[in-house]
A and B are shown apart, each in its own frame.
Chain A
Amino acid sequence: MIENIEELQELANKKRCTLQNSPQEIRICTGSSCASLGSDILQKELKKNFKLQKLDEKCTIKSVGCSGLCSEAIMVSHYDKEKKQETLYANITAEDTEKFYLYEKNSAVLEDKKVDTSTHFFSKQHKIVLENAGKLDPNDIEDYIAHDGYVALFKALEDFTPVELIQEIKQSGLRGRGGGGYPTGLKWETVSKVESTQKYIICNGDEGDPGAFMDRAIMEADPHRVLEGMLLAGYGCGASKGYIYVRAEYPVAVEKLQKAIKQCKKLGILGQNIALSGFSFDIEVRLGGGAFVCGEATALIRSIEGNRGNPRQKPPHLSDAGLFGEPTVLNNVETFANIAPIVKNGAAWFASIGTKTSTGTKVFALSGNIKNTGLVEVPMGISLEELIYDIGGGVSGTQKLKAIQTGGPSGGCIPASMMDVLVDYDSLKKVGSIMGSGGLIVMDESVSMLEVAHFFMDFCQSESCGKCVPCRVGTVELRDLLDKFIAQTATKEDFELLKSLCEVVKESSLCGLGQSAPNPVMSTLHYFEEEYLQGIYDD
């Protein structure tokens, strides 16, 4: 049981000493891309043979979370603890196993796989949320503590009143990373002011947006960071119970979180009277069932309660009547992952990163026709140009860039001509897209915008929960209309109907899913109207 910050520091120092037992470390990425290419087998093989050959005294083998450059999987890095120097190696395969045994004597054996870390891909990133990803063993709470984990929690419990804590979050300017961009501090303050004996903190790890895997990587690489954020939210708002709602399709994330919760309970970081402060908090994991609509707040709550995930009308807002009818704070995984650094380093530090209205950083999942696919974290206010060309390495293949899709089925397409747009909540909204949760799909000229619009409409149609008519019927009609444009059998009336139907679905649907379902059509209509006009049959 850890009872105060001194004991936490003591444990951290003890772990740091054991970590120093071997002067070197080989870190193997076990993120989804690397794992599917066999990084876990590589890790076991190396661990076994390092022990056999007695190499483990000098060098430890460690499995770590996603390091970001997924297109170059398997990623392995060598870390020299004395020099504090990390060397990255990419495209490692099972055939390279032998080379690691020779590495200690001659690091040149892997020279051809070495990654140049002076490129923009590395230098233009700013890691806050992902600072531990690729460094820590997500299965080991002590490793997290040795890297200043839970310091923010203990600091808050000892030095801050709940009101002061919320004030800190408010001043940092942090906005919800799930896509909506609602100020986090304000959300917490509202709930903290409601009188109730029971309040809840919910972490939305449902990530149903196709093309997004940021939250998955955070939960898998640094689960304790998410728990710490939730604990701080609980302290600030006066809640004693938290739920993490995770997709059942992410079994590794579920396993890591459950393990992390168990370890926290053992050390008294979760449970009754944490650090003798009188604050008690418990967290449970709840599995989702693969319904996109459950990313919507009221639907998610219905699902945790054991029901079909049908959204309901707001108000009442969650701050008044959320889970089981009690005041509830619901934030996204990435939002919670930002909390501990803010408390640790101060609101002013966080607010100095990014732009005035969008502070901090944002994690993006780059995919599609782009060279460097993977996870990147950039300061808010960077231009799309820098994000796609400098960090992403530009378009893969021979075709030119056509458009970028952000925000998934609720977002829109931004044409290649507008690459000077800045990545922040307000700028992206102005050009008809949204920040979204962070999925960013690059499309080259071979991709038809009509088909993309159709793809998303088909998605929304099948994910519609069926509760309200505009969404249930509207999405089917919109998809059928798009079919006509693709088959080039649409009429001029269809074109008008398409536009007005988009408005109807947007204005009259019950929840966010329906209201935003026409976005992909509306943004492609705006920027790529000629593709729609070509779909009109004219005799």
Chain B
Amino acid sequence: MAPPIKDDRYKQVEKTMKKLSYDRSALIETLHTAQETFGYLENETLKFIAKRLKLPFSKVYGVATFYHYFRLKPKGEHTCVVCTGTACYVKGSQEILQTLEKRFAIKAGETSEDGILSLLTARCVGSCSLAPVVIFDNKTQGKLTVQEAKTIVEELLK
């Protein structure tokens, strides 16, 4: 494989591996850096990491798919993460999720066809006092009603 190292983003990934002396245990840390720089983990990136850490591709792919945090597909332009932790559940997060799914015609975990909106869920974001919580484009908003959540997403998409 031709080293795509010219791309500055690969340099970031390389830096993490170097810091951890190209040890096999650096894999997860490297995947985190890669996702942060590229936005998601595409096959090319995974192959690059496999080669540099001298690991089989299957192993890298296996680890990347084991952890929920890693995305193998690009995220939409806007993201909306509905927390489905216990506190949020008790306060009606399911209803928020269902309403958003229906209104924007996508399922949780999917990105709309035009690539504008990703609707995601989180197990718990640790802001249980504010339940129910939704994170819109990295901004946490709590104590939401179904209507408020819908309006915020509609505003985002404008």
Contacts and interface: CB of A to CB of B under 8 A. Distances in A.
Interface of A: 32-33, 35-37, 70-71, 73, 207-213, 216, 248-250, 286-292, 303-309, 324, 365, 367-369, 373-374, 405, 408, 439, 441, 443, 447, 455-456, 459, 463, 465
B90 interface: yes
24 contacts: A35-B140, A36-B140, A71-B129, A73-B130, A208-B124, A212-B126, A212-B128, A213-B124, A213-B127, A250-B126, A286-B29, A289-B31, A289-B68, A289-B70, A290-B68, A291-B66, A291-B67, A305-B24, A307-B27, A308-B62, A367-B87, A369-B91, A455-B86, A455-B89
A212 B133 CA distance: 14
Given A210-B86, A287-B29, A463-B123, 7 more contacts: A36-B133, A291-B68, A305-B24, A306-B23, A308-B66, A367-B90, A447-B90
A367 B128 contact: yes
Interface of B: 23-29, 31-32, 62-63, 66-70, 84-87, 89-91, 122-131, 133, 139-142
A180 B147 CA distance: 41
B129 A367 contact: yes
A100 B140 CA distance: 26
Contacts of B124: 208-213
Question: Lowest 10 A-B CB distances belong to which pairs?
Answer: A289-B67, A70-B129, A210-B85, A211-B86, A210-B124, A367-B87, A36-B140, A306-B27, A213-B126, A367-B128
- Which of A324, A439, A465 has its CB near the most chain B CB atoms (within 10 A)? A439
A408 B86 contact: yes
Contact of A306 (B26, B87, B128): B26
B67 to A, nearest CB: 3
Nearest to A293: B66
A465 B28 CA distance: 17
Contact of A290 (B67, B86, B139): B67
Contacts of B130: 32-33, 36, 70, 73
A456 B66 CA distance: 20
- Which of A210, A304, A373 has its CB near the most chain B CB atoms (within 10 A)? A210
A65 B27 CA distance: 32
Nearest to A375: B129
A441 B115 CA distance: 37
A371 to B, nearest CB: 11
A515 to B, nearest CB: 20
A286 B67 CA distance: 14
A306 B129 contact: no
Contact of B129 (A209, A290, A373, A455): A373
Contacts, number: 130
Contacts of A306: 23-28, 63
A73 B129 contact: yes
Nearest to B28: A306
Contacts of A365: 128
A517 to B, nearest CB: 15
A405 B63 contact: no
B148 to A, nearest CB: 14
Contacts of A439: 86, 128
Contact of B90 (A32, A73, A374, A441): A441
Nearest to A33: B129
Contacts of B62: 308
Contacts of B140: 32, 35-36
Given A248-B32, A306-B24, A368-B91, A289 B66 contact: yes
A216 to B, nearest CB: 4
A207 B140 CA distance: 19
B28 A441 contact: no
Nearest to B30: A306
Given A249-B125, A455-B86, A459-B123, A36 B142 contact: yes
Contact of B128 (A213, A290, A305, A455): A213
Contact of B25 (A211, A248, A305, A405): A305
B123 A292 contact: yes
- Which of A37, A70, A211, A308 has its CB near the most chain B CB atoms (within 10 A)? A211
Nearest to B23: A306
A213 B29 CA distance: 23
A309 B65 CA distance: 11
A310 B152 CA distance: 39
Contact of A303 (B26, B28, B142): B28
A405 B87 CA distance: 10
Given A216-B126, A439-B86, A249 B28 contact: no
A324 B67 CA distance: 21
A443 B90 contact: yes
Given A287-B29, A289-B70, A249 B87 contact: no
Contacts of A447: 90
A162 B116 CA distance: 58
A71 B84 CA distance: 19
Contacts of B129: 33, 70-71, 73, 367, 373-374
